């Protein structure tokens, strides 16, 4: 297979492509991380000229890519851009096949990478079209989340995908796995005995995976009301982060071994108990355009999850995410057990906390002696800003994941078996979802959610 790549970006003029995907392509290009020979072919329903697409990309990068691109670098970037209009489906490929033939005439034999930055409702149509028009063999196919919105829809899509391509060709995006700090969860653990020996039920009392947001649903109200916080965040992103925390050491750091390790621990998730799920809806949500007056959609979800492995049996994993809360955070916290021994009245507990925002940070909270003549105890914290690590150059999640697609590395992408296990763990609660409890904007969410943490409370709310 040639080292030339032709990327087909379905939904090239959509919101996701504008905010995330096109800026990621541009950053890879400017960092010199694209192959020598490549082409990006945008696809959409409109009849847009190549030059008009160049202008669209320029406007996108001005708004979302950090400034107005110009000069020789921009001129070089545009030589890789083409547009194929008329949509794409099984019965009508639009102009895509013609544009791809032109690309191969310029580049020679090339591998296709199909990026589906489109609503999940269109996945089937495009997947069937790729098979019908012989665009699958040897290609890589990137699916945005959510890959299914229920166990039934997941299995239907999964069966279709596997009827047209091999699992090794499929790259299911989960941008939380692409975060630098998420990857540091296993690097810190496996690279440092001090941490690795404490990464178990003997030392850890509770694991918190907490993503509160101050933002509302903004212009995503129509999509959000059909999904909700539980499906949008808990079942997808936070389950995958929990699997990163709870997995056994893989045989190696190769993609297949990392995926096997995550799949094994996802299969060990105990089915969620409806009594350990709290849903909420912020006051005023139903007043938004595109939201029904009687909407029961959750804008807040918190669960207590149990991982039935020898390493983690008996340790609660508490997961929370919600909109319009009083705190913005993306943190994983390992709450350590209080030690047995001669010290009494220990003030709180030790915590090892990972911030997943930006380049990430690692914070350790210790119990220490308070300076002075008496043996008084206090808590202190120290923070390692991973963005300050010498010679580091962090890649944003979408840039990192797109680079892995270029390299053919699936280690940070979700697998069919892992998603099947995740949906299996929530099948029971999906059949009897409780009504969401109203909560005030700017609060910590429904009061019942705090009880899921026992006496610990949500550490992100402490600042």
pLDDT-based confidence at 1, cuts 50/70/90?
very low
Same domain? For 454 and 311 the reply is yes
Give the pLDDT of residue 307.
97
Query: Which residues are 306's β-sheet partners?
Result: 316
Give the pLDDT of residue 87.
92
Same domain? For 128 and 186 the reply is no
Reduced to 3 states (helix: H, G, I; strand: E, B; else coil), residue 157 is helix
Domain holding 114: CATH number?
Answer: 3.40.50.720
Q: Name which of 91-105, 226-240, 261-275, 376-390 the model is least confident about.
A: 376-390
Same domain? For 233 and 331 the reply is yes
pLDDT tens profile 5-35? 999 999 999 989 999 999 999 999 999 999 9
pLDDT-based confidence at 226, cuts 50/70/90?
confident
Does 339 map to a domain? yes
Does 412 map to a domain? no
Give the pLDDT of residue 2.
56
The number of angstroms, rounded, from the C-alpha of 195 to the middle of its chain's C-alpha atoms is 25
Same domain? For 117 and 210 the reply is no
How confident is the prediction for the chain on average, in pLDDT? 92
Q: Is the confidence at residue 347, as pLDDT, over 80?
A: no
Q: Name which of 6-15, 146-155, 207-216, 390-399 the model is least confident about.
A: 390-399
Give the pLDDT of residue 375.
82
pLDDT tens profile 373-387? 888 878 888 888 887
Q: Name which of 68-72, 207-211, 237-241, 272-276 the model is least confident about.
A: 68-72
Give the pLDDT of residue 376.
81
From the candidates 162, 237, 345, 403, give the one annotated as an active-site residue.
Answer: 237
The number of angstroms, rounded, from the C-alpha of 298 to the middle of its chain's C-alpha atoms is 19
- Could you say which of 98, 122, 144 is where a domain stops? 144
Annotated binding site for substrate, which residues?
Answer: 175, 179, 213, 232, 323
Q: Is the confidence at residue 74, as pLDDT, over 90?
A: yes
Tokens 């990068």 belong to 61
Does 411 map to a domain? no
Same domain? For 129 and 212 the reply is no
Q: Is the confidence at residue 402, as pLDDT, over 50?
A: yes
In whole angstroms, give the CA distance from residue 176 to residue 155: 23
Does 192 map to a domain? yes
Residue 30: what are its φ and ψ, rounded to 5°?
A: -70, -25
Mean predicted confidence (pLDDT) in 296-306:
97
54 an active-site residue?
no
Do the Cβ atoms of 62 and 27 come closer than 8 Å?
A: no
**Boundaries of domain holding 226:** 180-396+436-462
Domain holding 307: CATH number?
Answer: 3.30.360.10
Give the pLDDT of residue 390.
67
Does 414 map to a domain? no
Does 275 map to a domain? yes
In this predicted model, which residue has the larger pLDDT, 49 or 181?
Answer: 49
Give the pLDDT of residue 65.
86
Name the percent of the chain lying above pLDDT 90: 72
Do the Cβ atoms of 277 and 434 come closer than 8 Å?
A: yes
pLDDT tens profile 160-209? 999 999 999 999 998 888 888 888 888 889 999 989 999 999 999 999 99
Does 75 map to a domain? yes
Name the percent of the chain lying above pLDDT 70: 99
- How distant, in Å, are the alpha carbons of 65, 116, 144, 437 from that of 13? 15, 12, 15, 37
Annotated binding site for NADP(+), which residues?
Answer: 11-18, 45, 145
Give the pLDDT of residue 373.
87
Q: Is the confidence at residue 340, as pLDDT, over 60?
A: yes
Asked if residue 146 has a cis previous peptide bond (ω within 30° of 0), the answer is yes
Q: How many domains does the chain have?
A: 2
Does 413 map to a domain? no
Same domain? For 333 and 453 the reply is yes
Same domain? For 234 and 369 the reply is yes
pLDDT tens profile 110-138? 999 999 999 888 999 999 999 999 999 99
- How distant, in Å, are the alpha carbons of 11, 337, 392 from that of 388? 36, 30, 7
In whole angstroms, give the CA distance from residue 9 to residue 12: 5
Same domain? For 257 and 369 the reply is yes
In whole angstroms, give the CA distance from residue 23 to residue 19: 7
Same domain? For 205 and 335 the reply is yes
Reduced to 3 states (helix: H, G, I; strand: E, B; else coil), residue 322 is strand
Same domain? For 339 and 456 the reply is yes
Residue 121 neighbours by CB under 8 Å, 6+ apart: none
Same domain? For 221 and 317 the reply is yes
- Could you say which of 100, 120, 144 is where a domain stops? 144
Q: Is the confidence at residue 391, as pLDDT, over 70?
A: no
């Amino acid at each position: 297979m040639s080292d030339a790549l032709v990327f087909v970006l379905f939904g090239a003029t959509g919101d996701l492509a504008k905010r995330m995907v096109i800026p990621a392509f541009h950053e890879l290009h400017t960092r010199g991380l694209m192959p020598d020979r490549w082409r990006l072919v945008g696809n959409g329903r409109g009849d847009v000229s190549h030059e008009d697409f160049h202008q669209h990309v320029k406007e996108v990068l001005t708004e979302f890519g950090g400034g107005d691109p110009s000069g020789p670098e921009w001129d070089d970037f545009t030589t890789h851009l083409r547009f194929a209009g008329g949509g794409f489906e099984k019965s009508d490929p639009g102009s895509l096949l013609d544009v791809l033939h032109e690309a191969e005439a310029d580049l020679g034999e090339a591998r296709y990478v199909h990026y589906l930055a489109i609503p999940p409702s269109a996945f089937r149509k495009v997947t069937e079209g790729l098979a019908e028009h012989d665009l699958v063999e040897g290609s890589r196919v990137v699916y945005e989340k959510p890959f299914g919105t229920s166990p039934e829809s997941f299995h239907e899509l999964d069966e279709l995908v596997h009827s047209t391509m091999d699992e090794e060709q499929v790259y299911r995006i989960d941008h939380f796995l692409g975060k630098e700090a998420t990857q540091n969860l296993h690097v810190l653990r496996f690279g440092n005995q001090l941490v690795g020996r404490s990464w178990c039920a003997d030392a850890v009392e509770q694991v918190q995976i907490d993503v509160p947001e101050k933002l509302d649903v903004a212009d995503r109200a129509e999509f959000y009301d059909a999904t909700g916080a539980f499906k949008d965040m808990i079942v997808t992103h936070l389950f995958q982060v929990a699997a990163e925390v709870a997995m056994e050491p893989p045989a190696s750091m190769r993609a297949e071994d990392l995926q096997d390790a995550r799949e094994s621990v996802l299969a060990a998730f105990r089915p969620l108990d409806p009594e350990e799920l709290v849903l909420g809806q912020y006051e005023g949500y139903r007043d938004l355009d595109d939201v029904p007056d009687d909407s029961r959609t959750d804008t807040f979800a918190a669960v207590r999850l149990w991982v039935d492995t020898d390493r983690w049996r008996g340790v609660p994993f508490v997961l929370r995410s919600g909109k319009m809360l009083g705190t913005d955070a993306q943190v994983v916290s390992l709450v350590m057990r209080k030690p047995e021994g001669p010290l009494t009245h220990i003030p709180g507990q030790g915590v090892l906390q990972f911030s997943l925002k930006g380049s990430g940070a690692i914070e350790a909270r210790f119990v220490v002696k308070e300076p002075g003549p008496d043996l008084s105890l206090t808590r202190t914290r120290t923070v390692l800003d991973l963005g300050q690590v010498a010679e580091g150059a962090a890649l944003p999640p979408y840039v990192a994941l797109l680079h892995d697609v270029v390299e053919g590395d699936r280690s940070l992408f979700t697998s069919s078996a892992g998603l099947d296990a995740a949906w299996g763990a929530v099948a029971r609660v999906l059949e009897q979802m409780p009504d969401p409890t109203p909560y005030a904007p700017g609060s910590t969410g429904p009061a019942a959610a705090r009880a899921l943490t026992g006496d610990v409370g949500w550490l992100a709310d402490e600042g």
